[in-house]
C-alpha cells in the first residue's frame, strides 16, 4: 500500500477499535490506538501471510506480547479477511473467538495466547530460533509495550535473542509513555530503553510511531540487518486519534460509553 492508503486503512482500524470496544463495554483503547499505525504498516505492507490459510508454514509470525491490545490485532486480522468484520462486535462476549486477550486456541491468526505481560518476546525469540534451525526465511515480529519492559522476562528474552544473533527477529516497542498508574518514569523508570536493548546486542531504531514513512523505513532496515535482532522504539501517543483519549492514562483500560463512542467515531471520520 502507498502511504495515503495506509493512512486510510489505519483510520478504518481505529474506527473498528472504537466500535468493538463500545460494543464490548470494556477493554483497552489507549494502547490499541497508539499501536495502530505500527500495526497497520506491519500487517498491510510487511508480513507475508495468507489470510485464507492462516497456518501457511511460510508465513511471517507476529506475537502480540502486550495482549491487552487485542482490539488492534483483531481489527487488522478482520480487515485482511481472516474473519468477517461483523464478528468484531462479539469482542469479549461469551462464546466469541475474540477473547479479552488473544487466544490461539480460539482464533486462527493468533500464534500464541498472551495477556500476561512480558511473555511474548520469549516466544517470538523461540520461533526465530526454530526458523534459523530450519534455515527458513520466516521473520518474526513482536509488539511490546513500554510499561511491559518492567517485566524481567523481557530482558531474559532480549539477552537470548542477542546471544543467538537472531536477525530474523524484530521487537517493536510501543513507547506511548503511559501505563495504568501513570507516566512510565514516575511508576518505574525503564528509560533509557534504547541503551538497554543496545547493551543486549540489538540494533535499535528510534522513530515517530505515527509517521508511516519512518515506520516503513524502520521495518525495511530491520529486514536487511544481519547478525543482530532489531528493536524499533516507536514514540507514540496513547489513545492516538481520539482527542479525549490522547495521552490520558485513564483510557488505558476503559471502554467509551455510547455517547463517547459516537463522539470518537465522528472524530475518526
Partner 1 sequence: MEKKATRYGYSEALIEMGATNKNIVVLDADLSRSTSSELFKKKFPERFFNVGIAEQNLLGLAAGLSLTGKIPFASTYSIFASGRAWEQLRTTICYSNLNVKIGGSHGGILTGPDGASHQALEEFALTRILPNLTVFVPCDFFEAKKATLAAAEMKGPVYIRLGREPVPVLTTPETKFISGEGLLMKEGQDVTIIACGSLVAESLQAALLLEKENIKARVINIHSLKPLDEKIIIQAARETKAIVTAEEHQIYGGLGSAVSEVVVKNYPVPLEMIGVNDTFGTSGAPEELMRFFHLKDIDIVAAAKKVLARKG
User: Does residue 194 touch partner 1 according to CB under 8 A?
Assistant: no
Please report how close the Cβ of residue 121 comes to partner 1 at its closest, in angstroms.
8
- Whether 118 and 154 have beta carbons less than 8 Å apart is answered as yes
Please report how close the Cβ of residue 116 comes to partner 1 at its closest, in angstroms.
5
For the chain, how are helix, strand and coil distributed in percent, rounded to 5?
A: 45, 10, 40
Please report how close the Cβ of residue 58 comes to partner 1 at its closest, in angstroms.
12
User: Does residue 134 touch partner 1 according to CB under 8 A?
Assistant: yes
- Among residues 75, 77, 121, 170, which is the contact residue for partner 1, using CB under 8 A? 121
- Whether 234 and 205 have beta carbons less than 8 Å apart is answered as no
- Among residues 126, 165, 201, 211, which is the contact residue for partner 1, using CB under 8 A? 126
Q: Of 11-19, 128-136, 200-208, 221-229, which part binds partner 1 (CB under 8 A)? A: 128-136
Return the closest-CA partner of residue 142 out of 55, 194, 73, 217. Answer: 73
Return the closest-CA partner of residue 187 out of 176, 177, 195, 196. Answer: 177
Site for partner 1 in 138-157 (CB under 8 A): 138, 152-153, 156-157
- DSSP letter string over 2-37? -HHHHHHHHHHHHHHHHHHHHHHS-S-HHHHHHTHH
* Distances in whole angstroms, Cα of residue 253 to Cα of each of 52, 53, 65, 178: 32, 33, 16, 12
Compute and round to an integer the Cα radius of gyration of the chain: 17
- Among residues 111, 146, 167, 177, which is the contact residue for partner 1, using CB under 8 A? 111
User: Does residue 128 touch partner 1 according to CB under 8 A?
Assistant: yes
Residue span 64-83 as binding mask against partner 1, x where in contact by CB under 8 A, dash where not: --------------------
Q: Using CB under 8 A, list all residues that contact partner 1.
A: 61, 103-105, 111-116, 118-119, 121-131, 133-134, 138, 152-153, 156-157, 159-160
Amino acid at each position: 500500500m502507498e502511504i495515503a492508503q495506509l493512512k486510510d486503512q489505519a483510520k478504518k482500524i481505529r474506527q473498528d477499535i472504537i466500535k468493538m470496544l463500545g460494543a464490548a463495554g470494556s477493554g483497552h483503547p489507549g494502547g490499541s490506538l497508539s499501536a495502530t499505525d505500527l500495526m497497520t504498516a506491519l500487517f498491510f505492507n510487511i508480513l507475508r501471510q495468507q489470510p485464507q490459510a492462516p497456518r501457511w508454514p511460510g508465513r511471517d509470525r507476529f506475537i502480540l506480547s502486550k495482549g491487552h491490545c487485542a482490539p488492534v490485532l483483531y481489527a487488522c486480522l478482520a480487515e485482511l479477511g481472516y474473519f468477517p468484520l461483523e464478528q468484531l462486535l462479539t469482542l469479549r462476549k461469551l462464546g466469541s473467538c475474540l477473547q479479552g486477550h488473544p487466544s490461539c486456541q480460539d482464533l486462527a491468526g493468533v500464534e500464541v495466547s498472551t495477556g500476561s505481560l512480558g511473555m511474548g518476546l520469549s516466544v517470538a525469540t523461540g520461533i526465530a530460533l526454530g526458523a534459523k534451525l530450519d534455515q527458513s526465511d520466516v521473520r518474526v515480529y513482536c509488539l511490546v509495550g513500554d510499561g511491559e519492559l518492567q517485566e524481567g522476562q523481557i530482558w531474559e528474552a532480549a539477552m537470548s535473542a542477542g546471544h543467538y544473533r537472531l536477525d530474523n527477529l524484530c521487537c517493536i516497542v510501543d513507547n506511548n509513555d503511559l501505563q495504568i498508574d501513570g507516566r512510565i518514569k514516575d511508576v518505574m523508570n525503564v528509560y533509557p530503553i534504547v541503551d538497554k536493548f543496545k547493551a543486549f546486542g540489538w540494533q535499535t531504531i528510534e522513530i515517530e510511531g505515527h509517521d508511516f514513512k519512518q515506520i516503513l523505513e524502520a521495518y525495511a532496515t530491520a529486514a536487511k540487518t544481519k547478525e543482530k535482532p532489531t528493536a524499533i522504539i516507536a514514540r507514540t501517543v496513547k489513545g492516538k486519534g481520539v482527542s479525549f483519549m490522547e495521552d490520558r492514562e485513564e483510557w488505558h483500560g476503559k471502554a467509551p460509553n455510547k455517547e463517547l463512542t459516537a463522539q470518537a467515531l465522528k472524530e475518526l471520520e
